[in-house]
Chain A
């Protein structure tokens, strides 16, 4: 241990050292004869690998006929194949030291997996089995359906869930993105054949993308994948045109009444853009300054100065066809109106005044730095790959992101804020006890009150 302490230098913040280059790992890409797209990255940090089999169809693909169908299908896919019963699947996974989960969002369904590298062939065969030969056992379907019903009842007592569900309804109208979850009656009405039909149409090789990152050689991994997936029939579902979301003019307030709450869940939002949009980076930077980081205006204001809330944030939500922007905070009932006032103050400040050079530089460094923090882990790389390929981003998205962020100016931020932080037309959702929060919510516009099931009260 060398170098003596330097008490005289104690007051000075050490400067940053020279930056070491960020190098994104090489991606081995190929497409099997049946159309399955494969992306592989070697990462030898631990003797494991992680991956996702992604289908480019999610709840939006069937929302109008059967809301939540992709999610329900994914849940039952895991419970049986032509050759494996549920218990066999779970024990096979444990034998290989593997984790597996199935699920679906608005745009995609996924079989996500990770396991010991030494058992990769077996795990890929299991994933292929689920993707190609799921048998939808009647008993398992019925069990999952009843479980879903109970989970749904709990979700509709959860303030954060209720707020998000209402905002999506408001922002997306007739577009399937409006539907976050089914009603209880819709789940009651699920039939096994509907799941099997969705599976036949959407779990096809031409609709799929297989990502894997881990302790393997890409060439050997590709051989295992070809062996496991080559018999999957080619084909892809027909893409449908969806109705346009509504053009929302004027601020409106939506109150979801949940009895006896001790906090108001406040959510303000408006439609924004997809990740492919030319404004994506500059809007990302504006969001970071507003409320996308711990060191942001919103956190400084309503947490560190006023103590209204624990974890306020703003966020961009990019779906494949559309995107939206939101600001959220859970606050004690008494300060619901005060919180909304501060949120609109911060939105309007972003629109009215350019950010300072210091704030700009800090935020550029933040976004470009955190973008590559996950680079040294298998999960971190896999997460970035999924974003790139699911959103059909340019090949060099990862490699150019940091430079694009660093090139942005205060004018870019101002322009993005003026275009997308549309406070006069922002939609306000408040979840809480009507008696406590309705008078405060009404200060910000005409209030529509809903129960937790989505009915107008």
Chain B
């Protein structure tokens, strides 16, 4: 297999802002992202949902670009724009015809320099965010399952354990002063990386970064927070009512190894052996063979992310919807058989080889696309940002695959024995209330 050689150059401005450029002339389109090293894990206590609400506020106006101007200018340039809040990063990104590159940088620099929002903007976006939560969680079958259900059961440290979308009373309590304070603390240039991918030359990209971002005043990079968890000593369990859906749900999360540690790559291969679509052991056994489940999915840092975009405690999660005539215990027993087999017998050489081929293939696709066809190279941007902010090694994009492809079957078995044990897991039952389908 040929080594990857995606052209990537990076630099750091005097104010601490990092910049990365990846030129590619396949189309006259450029993808521009700004990633801040802050996600919902570190939002203020008593302000659950604040990081995401804040992301909305970043579209409400900056010093020279009033409300809706950012969106209007990007759309009117023939491009698309959005943002998203993750555990450990918040991103703002746009894909535009490349003749709009300077305009995009001007807009992103303007809002990195100063947020200009008022109470009406905050009230408005609080309402919008509540509708988002209703749409995606409160008014949907299996809304928030398991990404909002598992953390409060699995963790004890508030940053990992709270409601990331936000309790409505916390959203209601948020103030403009808190918005500005959050901006001042976490949206420092030195806590961010600017990315330009596609139809842009390296020198041009850096010159423009300098031109638009260099005079943004530096301020202190936030100190690292303690997101560690005390060791777990026994299995944790929780129950959540399912208001609409007809099938019982079961989610199992095992604490996963820390990023860039020796166990990390082997855990990723183990995860693919277990999850990894219809060829994965869990889907095969529970859905195809035993037919106790209707669907299973899962992964490390599932469902909001993957092994690459997480920089703190996370889990390998399995989400199961099982048949109503079977109990959760019966379903869990079949799941435990699958886990037990890997612990006792490991996985085969041929199986691991297949998993590696698929892992490599998925990684290529992730780099090229990753967010539909409308934000080209979203995945490359995302990986590049995380490798820059978390690891300070942007070139990992080109080399990281090799670490995963060196994993041996014995390492995978060792990880299963070490991590996939009851005292390292949390289980949430999502139980239908049984009145939804009136």
Residues of A whose CB lies within 8 Å of any CB of B are 1-7, 10-11, 13-22, 43, 45-48, 86-87, 90-91, 93-99, 114-116, 143, 146-147, 150-151, 153-154, 156-159, 257-263, 293-295, 300, 303-305, 307-311, 330-332, 361-362, 365-366, 368-370, 372-380, 383, 451-452
Contact = CB atoms under 8 A, between A and B. Distances in A.
Contacts of B29: 372-373, 375-376
B210 A158 contact: no
Tell which of A18, A45, A48 has the most Cβ of chain B within 10 Å: A45
Nearest to B98: A20
B64 interface: yes
B141 A373 contact: no
A370 B80 contact: yes
A33 B246 CA distance: 50
Interface in B255-297: 276-279, 284, 287-288, 291, 294-295
B245 A157 contact: yes
Interface stretch (B311-319, B356-364, B388-396): B356-364
A240 B295 CA distance: 37
Interface in B377-418: 377
A10 B74 CA distance: 18
B131 interface: yes
Interface stretch (B32-40, B120-128, B172-180, B188-196): B120-128
Nearest to A50: B365
B284 A294 contact: no
Contact of B368 (A116, A332, A378): A378
B411 to A, nearest CB: 19
B147 interface: no
13 contacts: A3-B207, A5-B214, A14-B102, A46-B365, A156-B437, A262-B134, A308-B127, A370-B80, A373-B79, A374-B374, A374-B376, A380-B373, A383-B373
Given A262-B138, A311-B135, A373-B80, A305 B360 contact: no
A369 B96 contact: yes
A91 B141 contact: no
B33 to A, nearest CB: 15
A8 to B, nearest CB: 11
B341 interface: no
Contacts, number: 270
Contact of B26 (A43, A99, A368, A452): A43
Nearest 10 CB-CB pairings of A with B:
A369-B78, A97-B361, A307-B127, A376-B27, A380-B373, A374-B373, A20-B28, A362-B76, A376-B26, A295-B75
Interface stretch (B65-73, B85-93, B222-230, B422-430): B65-73
B299 interface: no
A331 B357 CA distance: 45
A304 B67 contact: yes
Nearest to B97: A369
Given A262-B134, A263-B135, A373-B374, A48 B364 contact: yes
A309 B205 CA distance: 38
Interface string B84-127: 00000000000111111111011000100000000000011111
A4 B377 CA distance: 30
B278 A16 contact: no
Contacts of A258: 244, 436, 438
B106 A159 contact: no
Contacts of B211: 3-6
Given A14-B102, A374-B373, A375-B27, A143 B78 contact: no
B185 interface: no
Contacts of B139: 159, 261-263, 330
Contacts of B110: 10
Contacts of A451: 438
Contact of A94 (B142, B294, B355): B355
Given A157-B141, A260-B435, A308 B131 contact: yes
A1 B436 contact: no
B77 A369 contact: yes
Given A7-B215, A263-B131, A376-B198, 19 more contacts: A16-B103, A17-B100, A19-B99, A94-B354, A150-B294, A153-B437, A258-B438, A259-B438, A293-B75, A307-B127, A307-B128, A330-B139, A362-B76, A365-B77, A370-B79, A370-B80, A373-B95, A376-B27, A380-B373
Given A13-B103, A46-B364, A143-B291, A22 B76 contact: no
B152 interface: no
Contacts of B138: 262-263
